[in-house]
Structures are given as structure tokens and as C-alpha cells.
Chain A
Amino acid sequence: MVNWVAFTVFIIFFVIVTGMGFIAARWRRGNLDLIHEWGLAGRRFGTVVTWFLLGGDLYTAYTFIAVPAAMFGLGVVNGWFAVPYTVLVYPIIYVLMPKFWSVSKQHGYVTAADFVKDRFGSNTLAFAMALTGIIATLPYIALQMFGIQVSLAALGIPLTLSIGSLQIDLPLLIAFLILAAYTYTSGLRAPAMIALVKDVMIFITLIAILIVIPAKLGGFGAIFSHVAQKAAPATIVQNGQPVPNPFSEFLRNSNQNWAYVTLALGSALALFLYPHSLTGVLSSNSRNVVKRNAALLPIYSLMLGLLALTGYMAIAANVKPLAPFGVNGAVPALINQQFPSWFAGFAFAAIAIGALVPAAVMSIAAANLFTRNIYKEYLRRDASDREESTVAKWASFVLKFGAVLFIVYIPTAQVINFQLLGGIWILQTLPAVFLGLYTHWFNRWALLIGWLVSEVLGTIFFVQAGLKSVYTITIGSLSFPTMYIAFSMIVLNLVLAIILTPIFNVIGMRRGQDATSPTDYDEEIREPVEAGKEALG
């Protein structure tokens, strides 16, 4: 049944945001026929806009749907690791990203692959980085579409409409077309502007949840006692068979410790290798804006931590998850159960809009990669600036459409698995991109082989683990602790790159020319003191 009150509220916000998306083209006007204007908004965002954009971009449907769902279904290991993850990411950002910003500004890089190409003098390595970025981003965009789909379903909107004998996912297609249209016309300016509305809505929703729900459920003490009950039995019955209880409130043994720690550290290292994160960084107007944001963005991590607890609230409230989304339907069901329908409409609009912002930035970032590092490199070397930006606009459209097909044809439970696989893939670009900021010691072929081996093995382990992101690697009788596959693979990747570099140098596989100079990484480009109006920029 469609809930008309909730639906009306939802539509109102959706329309406002759509209008903003189109108006954004004229905000801080630039020539949108240039890729750095369309895809990086001219690198002119100040501290405040960058804060909203990065916050809106990094905290995605994964935060609002998948993390609380993991808390609901599995508890601490698979859910709460997101908290140490989003704490530890910022010290890493503080150290690395100013360097990346400076060298990119100096040389006009739009993507990480642009940087790798110059640093290691290797088109092939740059191609590998670009390909990884695009492939890892696709399921992430799909996860955003999934977030929209869950919100629509929670409002009682039918997911498919029959037209003749065809079942068409019409509501999702409409959302997709709107998103695609304003991304095409406004580029990165659209999500930057919408992020402002999104973040305010999410914070309002969070505060309402924290005020209303614990009070109704008898406080956090009562909530956690329900959680403890769920975690207590050693085995549960599943399909008539007793199986070990998958849910835990605390880390039970050293395997869980290892899984928790490597998930947190591996994810923290991976986050700013994703194209959409780097795009957010590069759109800021100085390295100090990046540093300030490393100190300011944890406000969103606090939000993530508190939202994660809604998964536990759903346990205490004993909700029946919204079908057909399994554990991912738990928190939407909780919102429907605990709030009047007008506020539920607001909350689901917040989640859906919350998914639109990252989806837009991700598709722009992946389109930048395709255009700069594949199209211009291999298909049309002499593409004009205008052609470059047109290709990027269409690429972003096609990539989003790919994500929609993904969500329509692949079972929803798998979508999140693919996103986990994306995390394993993207982390393998770390040696070239992050270590590349410090050294060009690595031989380009050693980096390429380390990347290839770890990508292939990582994918195999992911499949062997039963499409899970943690796996116990055993070699003969030697059994390693259970670890996040992205983490064990980055260790392997680094070992290979370090061992193979001197070997390749000796056998005469030539190192690439480094086109950057050491000062490019630390250059303080003199910037005016950011006060008042500039800070708002």
C-alpha cells in the first residue's frame, strides 16, 4: 500500500533537490565544456562546500542501509568495524591528501591514473589503475541505486509496474533519469549543491531517531540487553540445522579480532583510493582546505556510528524486516514502525537523496577516468577539450545506466557482495598511488605484476569464501588468521612489488621517467587567508 502522506513529503523534497541539481550549472559559473570544470567544478570549492561535498559523497547508502543492516544481522564484526574505519581514515587523509592535491594542481591531474602515468612513466600501469577504479565504482553506484530502491519500497511504492506483459522497474528508472540529466548538465556542481540539503536532512533524521527511539525502547541499557540476548546462544537453528550463531555483540576470539581489525584498517586505507573520494579532494581550492576537512569530517563519522546503532534498536524493537530486502529492510521497517508517516517520508527522502549525491559523484569520477585514461589515451589521442568533456558526460550516463541494470538483474543480496569485492579491488592500487606520493623507487612492471596477482587471487579468495570479504588463507598446513581479503592481498601486493623491483631493474626492464619533481608535492601555493565569504566558497 502506498502511504500517501509519506509519499507526498518524499516527492516534495525530491522535486526541490532536482531543481537544485539543474540550477547548479550556473553556480560559480565555469565553462562546462572543459573536463576540469564539469568533472572537478573548476577546483574552486572552499572549506565549507568541500565539507558538505565530501561528507555527502563518502557517507553513502552503505552508511545508511548496509552498516545498520550488518549490525542488525551480524553485529559487531561486520557492522561496527565501520566506526574504527571511519576514525582511522582521517589521519591517513591528513598525511597523504595534501601531497596528492599539490601534485595534481601543479600538473593538472584529474584522476589518480593521471598521476601514476607521470610518476612511473607507464601508460599500462595508468590503464590498470583506471580500469580498477571504474570496475570498483560500478557496484558502488549500484549500491546507491539499491538504497533508493529500499526507500521507495519503504514508502509502499511498487518497485515494478506492468506495462503490457512487461515488468518494468519504473520508479527506479525515473529516479535514474533525473539523476542522469542533472549530472549531465551540471557536472560536479550538482552533487555539491545537493549535498548541502542531503546532509541537513540526514542530521535531522538522526537527531529525531536518537531522541525518539531509545526513549520508546526503554533506553540504551534495554536496547543492549536485547542485543546481548541475541548474541548469547552458541548455536542457532537455520533450515532445521544447528549452526554457529553468526551474531556477536563483542569480539569472541582471535579470529574475530583479526577480522575486525583488518576490515577497519583495510577499509580506511581503501576509501581515498576510490575515484569519487579523490574527485572530492581535487575539487577543493587548496591543500589547507583538505587538511581542515580531515579534522572536520569526523562529525560525519559520529553520525555513522550513531546510525549504526539503529541496527541494534531494530533488534530491540523486534521489527520484521521489510521484504524482500532481508536484513537491509530492518531499519526502514523500524522507521515506519516508530515514526508518524510524514516523518517517515522525510527520513526516506533523506536516504534516497543521500544515495543520489554519491551516485552522481561516483559516475562523474568514473567518467573522468574513462575519458582521461582510456578514451584519450587509447582511442582518440587528439581529442579536443570540448570532445573530452562531451565524452565524459556521456560516459557518466552510460555508467549509471550500467548500475541500474546491475540492480535490476542481480539479486539484491549480491549487490552488497559486489561492493565488498570492489573494496578488495581498489585497495590494490595503493602501492602506485599512495606510496607513489613518497617514492618512485618501484619499478613500473613490478607494480603492475603485484597489482595483477593480488587482484586475481583476491577475487578467487572472495569466491572461495562464499562471496564474503573475510577469508582464512591456508598454505599447506600453515593457516593464517581470518582476515579481510583486501588486507591480506595488499600485503602480498607490496611484498611482490618490493621483491620484483630490484630483480626487474637488474634484468633490464626499464624504469619509467618520472615527470614530477620533489617540490611539486609540498608546494604551498600561496593562498589568501580564508575568511567569511571565501570559506563559504
Chain B
Amino acid sequence: MVSRSRPQRKRRSWLLIFLIIPFIALLYPPFYNSADPTFIGIPFFYWYSLLWIILTAILTAVLYFLGT
């Protein structure tokens, strides 16, 4: 029985598990609920959250280029 053939799909879907990282980093506030160290006057809590915007974007881009 030949059902629709799946053409050369070597997708590395398991890599998607890495997308859990930002959830761990951001959804447990005791990790980062503090004022120090500050960065250009911005408390840790705030710049840490902003930093994760960039890190998550990079992570997603890497996964995209790895072909997930």
C-alpha cells in the first residue's frame, strides 16, 4: 500500500524541545525578582526580561536554520 509518500523529510522536530528554555527562564520569577545588578540604572528584573526577548528570538532563528 503506497500512501502519499513523505518526501525526504529529515526534520529534526525533537529540537523544538529547546523552546521550553524561555518558559523556564521567565515563568519562575524568584530567579530574577531583584533590583541588583542594575544595568544603566535599570533594575535586574527589568533588563533580564528585555534580554530574554532577544535571546528567544535568536533561539527561534537558530532552530529555523537547523530545519525544525
Interface residues of A (CB under 8 A from B): 76, 80, 83-84, 86-88, 90-91, 94-95, 219-224, 249-251, 257, 260-261, 264-265, 291-292, 294-296, 298-299, 301-302, 305-306, 309, 519, 522, 524
Q: Are A83 and B53 in contact (CB under 8 A)?
A: yes
Q: Are A301 and B53 in contact (CB under 8 A)?
A: yes
Q: Are A261 and B56 in contact (CB under 8 A)?
A: no
Q: Are A264 and B33 in contact (CB under 8 A)?
A: no
- Taking CB as reference atom, which chain B residue is nearest A249? B43
How far is B14's CA from A117's CA once the two chains are assembled, in angstroms?
30
- Taking CB as reference atom, which chain B residue is nearest A299? B57
How far is B23's CA from A329's CA once the two chains are assembled, in angstroms?
33
Q: Are A95 and B40 in contact (CB under 8 A)?
A: no
Q: Are A298 and B63 in contact (CB under 8 A)?
A: no
How far is B49's CA from A251's CA once the two chains are assembled, in angstroms?
14
Residues of A contacting B56 in the complex (Cβ-Cβ under 8 angstroms): 87-88, 90-91, 298
Q: Are A84 and B64 in contact (CB under 8 A)?
A: no
Q: A298-B56, A302-B53, A305-B53 are in contact. List 16 more A-B contacts (CB 8 A).
A: A80-B46, A83-B53, A86-B53, A87-B49, A87-B52, A87-B53, A94-B60, A220-B41, A220-B42, A221-B40, A250-B34, A251-B33, A261-B27, A265-B23, A294-B64, A298-B60
Would you give the shortest CB distance from B42 to chain A, in whole angstroms?
5
Interface residues of B (CB under 8 A from A): 4, 6-7, 9, 16, 19, 22-23, 26-30, 33-35, 38, 40-43, 45-46, 49-50, 52-54, 56-57, 59-61, 63-64
Would you give the shortest CB distance from B43 to chain A, in whole angstroms?
6
Residues of A contacting B53 in the complex (Cβ-Cβ under 8 angstroms): 83, 86-87, 298, 301-302, 305
Q: Are A222 and B50 in contact (CB under 8 A)?
A: no
Main secondary structure of the interface of B (DSSP, over half): helix
- Taking CB as reference atom, which chain B residue is nearest A308? B46
How far is B61's CA from A220's CA once the two chains are assembled, in angstroms?
31
Q: Are A91 and B23 in contact (CB under 8 A)?
A: yes
Residues of A contacting B22 in the complex (Cβ-Cβ under 8 angstroms): 87-88, 91
Q: Are A291 and B49 in contact (CB under 8 A)?
A: no
Q: Are A84 and B26 in contact (CB under 8 A)?
A: yes
Q: Are B41 and A291 in contact (CB under 8 A)?
A: no
Q: Are A519 and B43 in contact (CB under 8 A)?
A: no
Q: Are B60 and A295 in contact (CB under 8 A)?
A: yes
Q: Are B49 and A83 in contact (CB under 8 A)?
A: yes
Q: Are B63 and A94 in contact (CB under 8 A)?
A: yes
Residues of A contacting B27 in the complex (Cβ-Cβ under 8 angstroms): 84, 88, 261, 264-265
Q: Are B60 and A95 in contact (CB under 8 A)?
A: no
- Taking CB as reference atom, which chain A residue is nearest B59? A91
Q: Are A250 and B35 in contact (CB under 8 A)?
A: yes
Would you give the shortest CB distance from A204 to chain B, in whole angstroms?
20
Contact A261/B41 with A80-B49, A91-B19, A302-B54 known, Cβ cut-off 8 Å: no
Residues of A contacting B19 in the complex (Cβ-Cβ under 8 angstroms): 91, 94-95
How far is B6's CA from A26's CA once the two chains are assembled, in angstroms?
39
> Nearest 9 pairs between A and B by C-beta?
A221-B41, A220-B41, A91-B19, A298-B57, A295-B61, A295-B60, A84-B26, A83-B49, A301-B53
- Taking CB as reference atom, which chain A residue is nearest B50? A305
Contact A291/B45 with A95-B19, A519-B4 known, Cβ cut-off 8 Å: no
Contact A91/B60 with A224-B43, A261-B27, A265-B27 known, Cβ cut-off 8 Å: yes
Residues of A contacting B33 in the complex (Cβ-Cβ under 8 angstroms): 250-251, 257
How far is B61's CA from A438's CA once the two chains are assembled, in angstroms?
24
A90, A221, A251: the one contacting B29 at CB < 8 Å is A251
Residues of A contacting B16 in the complex (Cβ-Cβ under 8 angstroms): 94-95
Would you give the shortest CB distance from A79 to chain B, in whole angstroms?
11
How far is B58's CA from A295's CA once the two chains are assembled, in angstroms?
7
Would you give the shortest CB distance from A86 to chain B, in whole angstroms?
8
How far is B23's CA from A92's CA once the two chains are assembled, in angstroms?
10
Contact A90/B41 with A95-B16, A292-B64 known, Cβ cut-off 8 Å: no
Q: Are A224 and B41 in contact (CB under 8 A)?
A: yes
Residues of B contacting A250 in the complex (Cβ-Cβ under 8 angstroms): 33-35, 43, 45
How far is B53's CA from A302's CA once the two chains are assembled, in angstroms?
6
- Taking CB as reference atom, which chain A residue is nearest B11? A522
Would you give the shortest CB distance from B39 to chain A, in whole angstroms?
9
Residues of A contacting B50 in the complex (Cβ-Cβ under 8 angstroms): 83, 302, 305-306
Would you give the shortest CB distance from A457 to chain B, in whole angstroms?
24
Q: Are A264 and B60 in contact (CB under 8 A)?
A: no
Contact A84/B41 with A250-B34, A294-B60, A295-B64 known, Cβ cut-off 8 Å: no
Residues of B contacting A95 in the complex (Cβ-Cβ under 8 angstroms): 16, 19
Q: Are A305 and B49 in contact (CB under 8 A)?
A: yes
Can you list 9 A-B contacts with CB-CB less than 8 angstroms, sorted by A residue number?
A80-B46, A90-B57, A91-B60, A94-B16, A94-B19, A94-B64, A95-B16, A298-B57, A305-B50
